[in-house]
Each structure stands twice: as structure tokens, then as C-alpha cells.
Structure 1
Amino acid sequence: MVEYQIRGLNFELTEAISDYVKKRLARLEKYLNADDQYDVRVKLSSHKTNHTFQAEVTVQIGDFVIRAEDTEDDLYEAIDAVTDKLDRQIKKYKTKITKSTRKQSIKQLDVPDLAEDGEVTEDVDELPIVRKKTVELKPMDPEEAVLQMELLGHDFFIFINAENDLPAVVYKRKDGQYALLDTDN
């Protein structure tokens, strides 16, 4: 069963728009088990300064969270584009997800983007924290953490390394390879 949470920012969310979102996202149900519960969170935003619309969709599929977003000049085009992105992500990772043996809950970790060169050049006093997220770290192996990071579209992911029960981070390097930062006591 799919549960939708759809909200609109800076414009009126009509029933027609809500129905269109549900219709477009319904095609993703072919990848889902009919008996399971799935949460789909949709945020549609209107940006008045550049006259664009942004669609963000987060889908909780079992133990995995998949997220996609897109910005277009037309709201319906943004909805179509984000649905296409989700469809590609689910197809790409479908076999990896089904082969995953761990049945642990994984929370979404939303992190801000770093500067292009990866370095922070401003004074520490000038770097206010604008968003705070609390995550529950779950044990998993580094390969599962890389998969989850890719599903979320992030550059890094923090988790409990199941091999040593300590916090760890996987991240994507500039050369496209993955790296693991492990901790020790």
C-alpha cells in the first residue's frame, strides 16, 4: 500500500495536481510488493524569482530511501522529470536491493552541498548552521552504505560498520571512486 504526502510551496496545490502526481508515481508501484507499506513524500515548489517549479520526491522502499528532484519551467514537466529519475534509480538498483540480505531501517541523511573545490574558505564564525538533521545509525556493510548513498544522491553517507560496530563514512571521491573512513577506539 502506498501512502502519499503531497505538499505545495508558494502556490495552491489543487486536487488536479495531486491526482497527476499520484498517477505519474503509480507507475513505480510495479517495482513494489503489493503487501508492503510505502511512504512517498512529494514537495512541489514555485520559485517566483526565476519562474521555475521544483519537484522533490522521497520514497521509502523497505529499508531504502530513494530521493530525486528536478526543476523545470513548467510544474508538470518537473513532475514528469522527477518521476523519470526515480524510475531509472529504481531500475538501476532493483537487483541490488533485492539481493540485500540486511533488513535494517535506514534513515535519510540530508546534507548540504560542499563548495565546488571541497574546501571551506570562509571564517568559522561566518559559517552558520542552517539545518540540523538527527539520524539513527544502523549497522550495515560498506557496500550497502555506498548503495544507500547512491540511492539518496548524496556524496557521503554515515553508518555503523557491521564489520566492527563502529561509526564509519563512505564517500565519493573526485575521480568517481568510493572511499571508506573508518573509526577506531
Structure 2
Amino acid sequence: MQIAVTFRHMESSDAIRNYVEEKLDRVKKYIEEPIDAQVVLSVQKKINHRAEVTMVAKGLTMKSTESREDMYAAIDLMVDKIERQLKRYKDKLKRHKVDSGTQRRLEKTIFAATSVDEGDGSPEIIRSHSFSVKPMSVEEAVMQMDLLDKDFLAFTDDNSEEMNVVYRRKDGNYGLIVPQGS
């Protein structure tokens, strides 16, 4: 885990920096991927100690901010809050696990823009990638799309076993494309 600690309106302290690193170390059990944590510790109006963390892991961004009269108390509460968020997220992922079902194999192909724009009869393939798609619910597909930080995700619906696409709309909501039978 990479932790960057920034001190604002207060002197830098190795003791506080070590305390933050020690406390944030306990959240590693919730996420396996490399974690990047940005911590900002600040003092406002000489009595309000504020601890703020932004964690990025697996395309997931989580934030926590706490203010107290004591910096150590603010750090403790901030870490407790981020740990609760990660635990809730991990539990949500576990509930959405699908044990059985058929997997489909998809192939993603990227074409050169010039070959498509010029109207050539044969578009130039830049890269091709195939991958397995496991059946999942719409909620799990949205969660996976957010985890992967993608704008859309093709998936097999676990109820209908049809290929669906979930996508992020410009207004921040989500859209679902479901094929119609012929």
C-alpha cells in the first residue's frame, strides 16, 4: 500500500505519519490489489483537527473525512469509517456471487479510425482481445463496471442468459441495453 501524508497548517510529524500508516494498514484485508491512499491532515482555527483520506484500489475510490479536537481521534474515526465502507462493499460483492452458470467467450476488436473513415472495404485491426463473461445480475454488472472504471460492460444476464450491456450515461445514471427476441 502506498500512503502519501500531507500536513496543512501544522508541522510535519513522523509520529503522526507512522500512526496513520499503522492504522491504514488494517484495511488491506478488504482489498487485494495495490492501494493508493492520499491522507491530508490539517488544523483549522487552532482547535479543529481534520483527517481526510482518499483511497483508490481496483478502480474503486473511497473517501472519508473526520474532524475532532484531537488529531489522533480524528485519524481513528477516519480509518474506522473507511474500514466500514470497504467491509460493506466487500460483503456486497460476496452476496452477488453466482456459483453456477454458463460462461460466454467474447472478442473485442479495435479498428483503426482512418480505415473506417476513408470507407476502405477492409478496416485495419489494431488489437483484438478475447475474454470470458460470467453470468451476473444487473446490480453486479454495475458494480463490476464501477470497479473496473469503465463506461460500459457487456455481460450475460443470470436470469435470461442473454447478452446485455450496462453503460454509464452522461447524466451520471446507468442505462441497460437488452436484446429483443426476433
Instruction: Report the TM-score, using the length of structure 2 for normalisation.
Output: 0.57
Corresponding residue for 1:47?
Answer: 44
Q: Which runs of 5+ in 1 are unaligned?
A: 107-136, 142-161, 171-179
The question of 1:29 aligning with 2:42 is answered: no
Q: Distance in 1 between matches of 2:45 and 2:168?
A: 47
CA offsets, 1:25-81, max 9 Å, x none?
A: 111111121xx32100100010125x1100001111211101110000000000000
Instruction: Report the TM-score, using the length of structure 1 for normalisation.
Output: 0.56
The question of 1:58 aligning with 2:71 is answered: no
Partner-residue secondary structure (3-state), 2:36: strand
The question of 1:169 aligning with 2:172 is answered: yes
CA offsets, 1:137-172, max 9 Å, x none?
A: 83369xxxxxxxxxxxxxxxxxxxx546642324xx
What is the root-mean-square deviation in Å for CA atoms of aligned residues?
2.7
| Runs of at least 4 residues off by over 4 Å | 97-101
Structure 2 counterparts to residues 1-185 of structure 1, below 5 A: 2-33=1-32, 36-48=33-45, 51-97=47-93, 99=96, 100=140, 102=144, 105-106=148-149, 138-139=151-152, 163=166, 166-170=169-173
Q: Distance in 1 between matches of 2:61 and 2:167?
A: 24
Q: Structure 1 15/164 Cα, relative in aligned 2: closer, same or farther at 3 Å?
A: closer
1:55–1:78 contact (8 Å) kept in structure 2: yes
For 2:51, the aligned partner's letter is: A
For 2:13, the aligned partner's letter is: T
Q: Give the percent of matched residue pairs that are identical in Structure 1 and Structure 2.
A: 26
CA offsets, 1:91-147, max 9 Å, x none?
A: 1111334655536643xxxxxxxxxxxxxxxxxxxxxxxxxxxxxx83369xxxxxx
The Cα of 1:8 is off from its aligned counterpart by 0.6
Q: Structure 1 167/73 Cα, relative in aligned 2: closer, same or farther at 3 Å?
A: same
Q: Distance in 1 between matches of 2:60 and 2:50?
A: 23
Q: Distance in 1 between matches of 2:171 and 2:153?
A: 10
Q: Distance in 2 between matches of 1:169 and 1:7?
A: 31
Partner-residue secondary structure (3-state), 1:40: strand
Partner-residue secondary structure (3-state), 2:12: coil
Partner-residue secondary structure (3-state), 1:66: strand
Q: Structure 1 85/164 Cα, relative in aligned 2: closer, same or farther at 3 Å?
A: closer
Q: Which has the larger radius of gyration?
A: 2
Q: Distance in 1 between matches of 2:167 and 2:87?
A: 32
Which one has a larger percent strand, Structure 1 or Structure 2?
2
